[in-house]
Amino acid sequence: MSNIIILAAIILYLGMVVWIGVICSKKNSDVGDFYLGGRKLGPVVTAMSAEASDMSSYLLMGVPGLAYLTGLADATWTAIGLALGTYLNWLIVAKKIRLYSHGYQAITLPDYFSKRFGDDKHVITLISAALIVIFFIPYTASGFAACGKLFNSLLGFDYHAAMIVSAVVIVLYCTMGGFLAASTSDLVQSIIMTFALAVVVIFGIVQAGGMGAVLDNAKALPGYLDMFHTHIAETNSSGDYGFFKIVSTLAWGLGYFGMPHILLRFMAIEDENKLKISRRIATVWVFISLIVATGIGVIGLTLSKNGIIDTLTGSESETIIVKISHYLSTFNPVAAFIAGIILAGILAATMSTADSQLLAASSAISQNLAVEVLHINMSKKTSMLVARLTVVVISVISIFFAKANIIVARISVIAISIIAVFLASNPNSSVFQIVSFAWAGFGVAFGPVVLCSLFWKRANKYGIVSGMIAGGAMIFIWKFGIAKLGGIFAVYELLPAFIFATLVIIVVSLATGKPSKEVMDKFEEVRNMSK
């Protein structure tokens, strides 16, 4: 009976987001509306859409799982890095990217890069669009797979069927309502995610015997509550969490400067002067949510010790909220319905990121590659149709990745990064690990480019192209090569690759001469307009 009630709550949620898509579909008249919402987002929707699309399933699964296994250090330093990155991104980048993208009449990030650096041959557009597709398709695939696993593990539904149904719902409201539907549904999804976090943490504390019992259990574990040590569950011992590890973890915050789906929210706000309100809302929500998510991991460990839920190991630890919700559902029908809403929160965390990724990848193909690189002329009506069809095609490819074995995936779509596909398709992969790799990829490929485009007039297209390629390559080189040396080299690949990409942009730009007078005059014109 409880499973039926849970399913009803989830169906209610899915129906609601489709309805949002139907409503928003009436407000899309061209691709500018479809991909950027006509730059009409209010401050609250902008803030919560940006953070909901940012805080994917790793908020409700990855962070609690990390805290459950290793204690406070890793999860808390990560949370601090993300909170700082959120604030600085809103403070430094948000207003400028809104004004500059408008000044250059750009509706996508690759389009902005191309116009900013006078790239008439659209090389920057091609490379940046390709990078978006390379990283977003497997990332989206992992989201679809997470939906399938949720329904399969909790309700016993066929994995493939559940995954496809979840993907179809996302595709429906994205193809109908575009960016506005995704942003509006993200607001709703952030509310559901907040509700899920609040209920789980309160219920968990009560069932654990109070906060005192939670803390007593944590204190008994070596290094568990120490910010400079980490708990090793296998040996019930502690390990050092040194300076380089802390710096490495804080580097998560750098990734924000290069996230296409977050930067698009900045570009879409109706009034750049309202970004201060958005910044405050976003920063507070992220900070509190990450603290609560970390706390759920600590509480969950106490519940395991008391025999209320199973003891979880490895990637199983990321199902902690699912386990707590299932236990809640056994009390009564009302509790089961609440559990359904909590599980809908996990879907919301996944879907709020997947919808943004679908639209970003779709715009990269239908707008940047088809129109700007291949010079395919389309009417307004045709452009809208192509935009919607591209969302569907990308979704189909992502579904294929999520359900196919790795060998078939490699053979079928050679253009997609092999390693990224592996990370996204492996059912035993940690959500946190998958997200960290994709996060590093985008942060390095686009972060230095965004900052240089906004703050350094001297940067040229040769430096930008070199920085993108060098940064993307360094992600793989560091993670799968240099990091294996250990010691100070075992840092999160985002940090050294970000520094390397920035240096490459600077060195190559200085070595290849100043941008044309036209490019520099346009930059000054746009900068003066933004003052």
For the chain, domain boundaries:
2-111+124-422
Q: Which range has the top average pLDDT, 16-30, 57-71, 469-483?
A: 469-483
> Is the model's pLDDT at 241 over the cut of 60?
yes
Does 516 have pLDDT greater than 80?
Answer: yes
Chain mean pLDDT for the chain? 75
Give the C-alpha separation, 145 to 133, whole Å.
18
* Mean pLDDT, rounded, for 38-66: 72
Give 483's contacts (C-beta < 8 A, 6+ positions apart). 489, 490, 491, 493
Q: What is the pLDDT of residues 371-392, one digit of tens each?
A: 555 555 555 555 545 555 555 5
Q: What is the pLDDT of residues 266-299, one digit of tens each?
A: 877 777 777 888 888 888 888 888 888 899 989 9
| CA atoms 294, 298, 300, 304: torsion sign | positive
Give mean pLDDT, residues 153-172: 67
pLDDT at 467: 92
Share of the chain above pLDDT 90, in %: 8
The answer to whether the CB of 154 falls within 8 A of the CB of 326 is yes
* pLDDT > 70 fraction of the chain, expressed in percent and rounded: 67
Residue 417, pLDDT above cutoff 50: no
Asked if residues 134 and 438 have their Cβ atoms less than 8 Å apart, the reply is no
Does residue 151 carry a pLDDT above 60?
Answer: yes
pLDDT at 95 over 70: yes
**What is the band of 406 on the pLDDT scale with cuts at 50, 70, 90?**
very low
Nearest C-alpha neighbor of 44 from the set 271, 255, 254: 271
Instruction: Give the per-residue pLDDT at 39.
Output: 58
**Contact between residue 59 and residue 143 where contact means Cβ atoms under 8 Å apart:** no
What is the pLDDT at residue 360?
58
Mean pLDDT check: name the lowest of 17-26, 66-75, 392-401: 392-401
Tens of pLDDT, residues 291-322: 888 999 899 899 988 888 888 877 677 778 88
pLDDT of residue 361: 58
Determine the pLDDT at residue 28: 53
Q: 530: helix, coil or strand?
A: coil
Average pLDDT over residues 160-165: 69
Question: Taking residues 401-412, what's their average pLDDT?
Answer: 37
What is the C-alpha to C-alpha distance for residues 246 and 163, in angstroms, rounded to an integer?
37
Average pLDDT in the 208-235 region? 87
Q: Any idea which of 43-52, 265-274, 308-317, 346-355 has the lowest mean pLDDT?
A: 346-355
In this structure, CATH architecture of domain 2-111+124-422: Up-down Bundle (1.20)
Which of 67-71, 414-418, 436-440, 466-470 has the lowest average pLDDT?
A: 414-418
What's the rounded Cα separation, in Å, for the pair 456 and 301?
49
Task: State mean pLDDT over 194-216.
Answer: 89
Residue 510: the pLDDT is 93
Q: Report pTM.
A: 0.77
Q: How far apart are CA 481 and CA 468, in angstroms?
A: 20
Which residue did the predictor score with more confidence, 225 or 367?
Answer: 225
Q: Is pLDDT at 347 greater than 80 in this prediction?
A: no
In terms of average pLDDT, the best of 99-108, 231-240, 344-353, 465-474 is 465-474
> Could you tell me the pLDDT band of residue 410, with boundaries at 50, 70 and 90?
very low
